[in-house]
Chains A and B, each alone.
Chain A
Amino acid sequence: MHYLPNIIFIILLIVGIGFFVKNVLKLKRNIFLGKEASITDNKSQRWKNMAKIALGQSKMVVRPIAGALHIIVYVGFVIINIEVLEIILDGIFGTHRMFAFLGPVYDILIGSFEILALLVILAVVVFWIRRNVIKLKRFLKPEMKGWPKSDGNMILYIELVLMVLFLTMNGADYQLQQMGADHYAAAGSFPVSSLIAPMFEGMSVSSLVLLERTAWWLHIAGILFFLNYLYYSKHLHILLAFPNTYYGKLTPKGQFKNLQSVTDEVRMMMDPDADPYAEPADDAVVPDKFGASDVQDLSWVQLLNAYTCTECGRCTSECPANQTGKKLSPRKIMMDTRDRLEEVGKNIDANKGEFKDDGKQLLNDYITPEELWACTSCNACVEACPISIDPLSIIMDMRQYLVMEQSAAPTDLNNMMGNIENNGAPWPFNQMDRLNWSKES
């Protein structure tokens, strides 16, 4: 029975990580429901972007307050993982503070974890106040009602609880070390938890051990829970921000991709030697549909974007259409894409790996043409995103579908396009009058 805790721990670990892996595989499958986009260029630039934007948080600090707080929580998260490694090894081998042999290095490690834990608690409290008391405009948009709102708060609560458990665990440990309890050799320095230790004065060794063990178990169980919560949450960005910044757009923001299928067709039309009555070659591929009406029409990078979005709303608060009260919200575009993709994924799971038409699609059922037509393609949303998400590319692909597959452009735009086609200008002027300005005084 001596090994019971170790066995329970290992089972907990396997279940926790196993469930996580299962969901990651599902995530990967869903992302690759998107169309092929081979991105193998500029590797060094891409690594640099990932280092700068995801690891270095360079775009978070554009908004200094949120940026500084985010960096605290982020650094806290990354560094405290070293502690988690020790917890896992202790749990497996039934040891206690396995890394204590590091001596003064260990003191510095534990000391800095504690200070970070305290800073994270403070940052989380400020974040909560920003979301719930100050009522920042970007957290109050229509798309933030319901689950997105509670998800945001839930993450803050979990982080708070994890940090409190960590400090409680250390505080009880510190007290036990002071009392010279068995198994609790003096190790680590406790600049923060030593301050809460006086609360435990007068407790017996056995109650302190119970307290320390309870906090220890809840802490690691909490971490495993949080790991599995990620899949269901906007918090997925802590993992996906890295690949997302790697695959982010490198070309100028104003450069929209040229559709190859259209190029082929235009070339053929313009080729004087082409035989208009020729039968299509046997190996000719049937052209894809133009643009996107559902998630499968988007590229896997756009779908990765959707899963990476953390709903911070910086895109929406910079969007000129949104600022002037129009329905378009770039954040909603990303959230809708993710919601629809999840729906498609569940459909596939329910139908033994095949997607069964559910009579729904991203266009109309999630994103309305009114939203799409309000976009000025100004790239403010793309610039604002701290982790290289491109909502504009989805908007443009859906406009292409509306225009090229459905001829559903607003009348004014149809007139404009008719003018270009007939006169080579968006207005109804004659091409032969193009130089008239040079003779007018």
Chain B
Amino acid sequence: MASELKVPTMAEFFASGTVPEVLFWVGCAGSFDDRAKKITKAFVKILNKANVSFAVLGTEESCTGDPAKRAGNEFLFQMQAVTNIEVLNAYEVKKIVTACPHCFNTIKNEYPGLGGNYEVVHHTQFLKQLLTEGRISMEGGAFKGKRITFHDPCYLGRANDVYEAPRDLIRKLDAELVEMKSCKQRGLCCGAGGAQMFKEPEKGDKDVNIERTEQALETKPEIIAAGCPFCNTMMTDGVKNKEKEASIAVMDIAELIATAEDL
């Protein structure tokens, strides 16, 4: 295992009178979900390797309110939003990066109307930027020639028109990027959005994540790449349901890069 993670907090920066380049918004899944924590750590390893000056809010972070808003609880959403904005503004945060498209969408699009104005980027966009600026370098390594299909998270793709950053990163791994039947603008939801993650699905013929996994399997992938902790869980469950977990891995873009760089 590589060296210990360096995870500074905003409070520490504040105490030393400096500001980091970017705030890493970890999100609830990234903080608490065992699978998603691996994504968080992979991303931090890359940040550490690239010597990016970043900080997290740590215990001062709270849910953005996305699931409450999508479930229809505008009141709870705004309570969360206003509280978070107070914290962010108190630290004079300018730029935020997050690995969760739901946090990304909410902070980027819905917080400005409530007084929270920040430059918000998804971690795939940030990694692409680091690559372009030469602050990280990537070699194919473990993924050279592997068939990878990318599942577009709705709240990154359709909701915010980010389609190319994650794909560019996959191509940089010298991997073979294969597209599913429904991709980009017409990508099929993993089934978790709109607060579905937290409830049983309505009655139907099958669950959405199974349908999506079937589309992914049609591309005969070795890896299903995702850019959202919820999509990751849904696709992982789908692959398990099809009993393919031994041959197909579901990985976040940050994990792909961290693994390729042996971090």
Evaluate whether A326 and B204 lie within 8 angstroms (CB atoms) in the complex, with A254-B155, A262-B78 already known: yes
Which of B5, B62, B63 gathers most chain A CB within 10 Å?
B63
Tell me the minimal C-beta distance from A145 to chain B in angstroms.
20
Evaluate whether A290 and B199 lie within 8 angstroms (CB atoms) in the complex, with A324-B208, A424-B62 already known: no
Scan A264-292; emit 1 where CB is below 8 A from any B CB, else 0.
01110110000000000000000000110
Cross-chain contact of A324 among B61, B76, B155, B207 (Cβ < 8 A): B207
Tell me the minimal C-beta distance from B112 to chain A in angstroms.
9
Cross-chain contact of B158 among A253, A257, A403 (Cβ < 8 A): A253
Residue of B nearest to A424 (CB): B62
**In the complex, A181→B168 CA distance in Å?**
72
Query: With an 8 A cutoff between CB atoms, is A72 at the interface?
Result: no
Find out whether the CB atom of A374 lies under 8 angstroms from the CB atom of B201.
Answer: yes
Find out whether the CB atom of A252 lies under 8 angstroms from the CB atom of B109.
Answer: yes
Find out whether the CB atom of A376 lies under 8 angstroms from the CB atom of B58.
Answer: no
Find out whether the CB atom of B72 lies under 8 angstroms from the CB atom of A378.
Answer: no
Scan A420-439; emit 1 where CB is below 8 A from any B CB, else 0.
11001111010111111110
Evaluate whether A320 and B75 lie within 8 angstroms (CB atoms) in the complex, with A253-B159, A325-B206, A326-B202 already known: no
Query: With an 8 A cutoff between CB atoms, is A323 at the interface?
Result: yes
A-side contacts of B41, CB under 8 Å = 437-438
Cross-chain contact of B188 among A266, A323, A410 (Cβ < 8 A): A323
Find out whether the CB atom of A324 lies under 8 angstroms from the CB atom of B59.
Answer: no
A-side contacts of B208, CB under 8 Å = 320-321, 323-324, 376
Query: With an 8 A cutoff between CB atoms, is A412 at the interface?
Result: yes
User: Interface size (A, Cβ < 8 Å)?
Assistant: 70
A-side contacts of B204, CB under 8 Å = 321, 324-327, 374
B-side contacts of A415, CB under 8 Å = 198
Find out whether the CB atom of A383 lies under 8 angstroms from the CB atom of B185.
Answer: yes
Query: With an 8 A cutoff between CB atoms, is A215 at the interface?
Result: no
Tell me the minimal C-beta distance from B125 to chain A in angstroms.
14
Tell me the minimal C-beta distance from B169 to chain A in angstroms.
21
Query: With an 8 A cutoff between CB atoms, is B9 at the interface?
Result: yes
Query: With an 8 A cutoff between CB atoms, is A375 at the interface?
Result: yes
Find out whether the CB atom of B28 lies under 8 angstroms from the CB atom of A425.
Answer: yes
Tell me the minimal C-beta distance from B148 to chain A in angstroms.
22
**In the complex, A417→B67 CA distance in Å?**
8
Tell me the minimal C-beta distance from B196 to chain A in angstroms.
5
Query: With an 8 A cutoff between CB atoms, is A390 at the interface?
Result: no
Query: With an 8 A cutoff between CB atoms, is B117 at the interface?
Result: no
Contacting A at CB under 8 A, from B30-51, are 30-33, 37, 40-41, 44
Scan B121-159; emit 1 where CB is below 8 A from any A CB, else 0.
000000000000000000000000000000000110011
A-side contacts of B59, CB under 8 Å = 431-432, 434-435
Find out whether the CB atom of B63 lies under 8 angstroms from the CB atom of A425.
Answer: yes
Find out whether the CB atom of A325 lies under 8 angstroms from the CB atom of B205.
Answer: yes
Query: With an 8 A cutoff between CB atoms, is A155 at the interface?
Result: no
Query: With an 8 A cutoff between CB atoms, is A36 at the interface?
Result: no
Evaluate whether A402 and B76 lie within 8 angstroms (CB atoms) in the complex, with A426-B63, A434-B59 already known: no
Cross-chain contact of A266 among B31, B75, B191, B194 (Cβ < 8 A): B75
Find out whether the CB atom of B72 lies under 8 angstroms from the CB atom of A399.
Answer: yes
Evaluate whether A416 and B71 lie within 8 angstroms (CB atoms) in the complex, with A256-B110, A376-B196, A383-B186 already known: yes
Tell me the minimal C-beta distance from B24 to chain A in angstroms.
11
Query: With an 8 A cutoff between CB atoms, is A44 at the interface?
Result: no
Find out whether the CB atom of B109 lies under 8 angstroms from the CB atom of A251.
Answer: yes
Find out whether the CB atom of B211 lies under 8 angstroms from the CB atom of A259.
Answer: no
Which of A384, A399, A409 gathers most chain B CB within 10 Å?
A399
B-side contacts of A373, CB under 8 Å = 199, 202
Find out whether the CB atom of A426 lies under 8 angstroms from the CB atom of B206.
Answer: no
**In the complex, A425→B158 CA distance in Å?**
25
Query: With an 8 A cutoff between CB atoms, is A71 at the interface?
Result: no
Query: With an 8 A cutoff between CB atoms, is A400 at the interface?
Result: yes
Find out whether the CB atom of A252 lies under 8 angstroms from the CB atom of B193.
Answer: no
Residue of B nearest to A259 (CB): B74
Query: With an 8 A cutoff between CB atoms, is B192 at the interface?
Result: yes
Contacting B at CB under 8 A, from A362-380, are 370, 373-380
Find out whether the CB atom of A417 lies under 8 angstroms from the CB atom of B109.
Answer: no
Find out whether the CB atom of A378 lies under 8 angstroms from the CB atom of B189.
Answer: yes
**In the complex, A379→B187 CA distance in Å?**
10
Find out whether the CB atom of B80 lies under 8 angstroms from the CB atom of A424.
Answer: yes
Query: With an 8 A cutoff between CB atoms, is B65 at the interface?
Result: yes
Which of B33, B40, B61, B73 gathers most chain A CB within 10 Å?
B73
A-side contacts of B63, CB under 8 Å = 420, 424-426
B-side contacts of A421, CB under 8 Å = 76, 79
A-side contacts of B32, CB under 8 Å = 425, 427, 429, 433-434
**In the complex, A301→B83 CA distance in Å?**
32
A-side contacts of B62, CB under 8 Å = 424-425, 431
Query: With an 8 A cutoff between CB atoms, is B114 at the interface?
Result: yes
Residue of B nearest to A318 (CB): B186
A-side contacts of B58, CB under 8 Å = 434-435
Q: Give me 10 A-to-B residue pairs in the complex whose CB atoms sit less than 8 angstroms apart, sorted by A's number.
A: A255-B109, A255-B159, A266-B75, A266-B79, A291-B72, A378-B154, A383-B186, A399-B70, A400-B74, A434-B31
For the complex with contacts A324-B205, A402-B72, A417-B76, 19 further pairs of A-B residues with Cβ separation under 8 Å are A253-B159, A254-B109, A255-B159, A257-B113, A258-B110, A258-B113, A320-B189, A323-B211, A324-B208, A325-B205, A326-B201, A376-B191, A380-B189, A382-B158, A409-B71, A424-B61, A434-B59, A435-B59, A437-B41
- The chain A residues found within 8 Å of chain B, CB to CB, are 251-259, 262-263, 265-267, 269-270, 290-291, 318, 320-321, 323-328, 370, 373-380, 382-384, 396, 399-404, 409-410, 412-413, 415-417, 420-421, 424-427, 429, 431-438, 440-441
- The chain B residues found within 8 Å of chain A, CB to CB, are 1, 5, 7, 9, 26, 28, 30-33, 37, 40-41, 44, 56, 58-59, 61-63, 65, 67-76, 78-80, 82-83, 105, 108-110, 113-114, 154-155, 158-161, 185-186, 188-189, 191-208, 210-212
Pick the 5 closest A-B CB pairs, nearest first: A254-B159, A325-B205, A377-B194, A399-B72, A424-B62
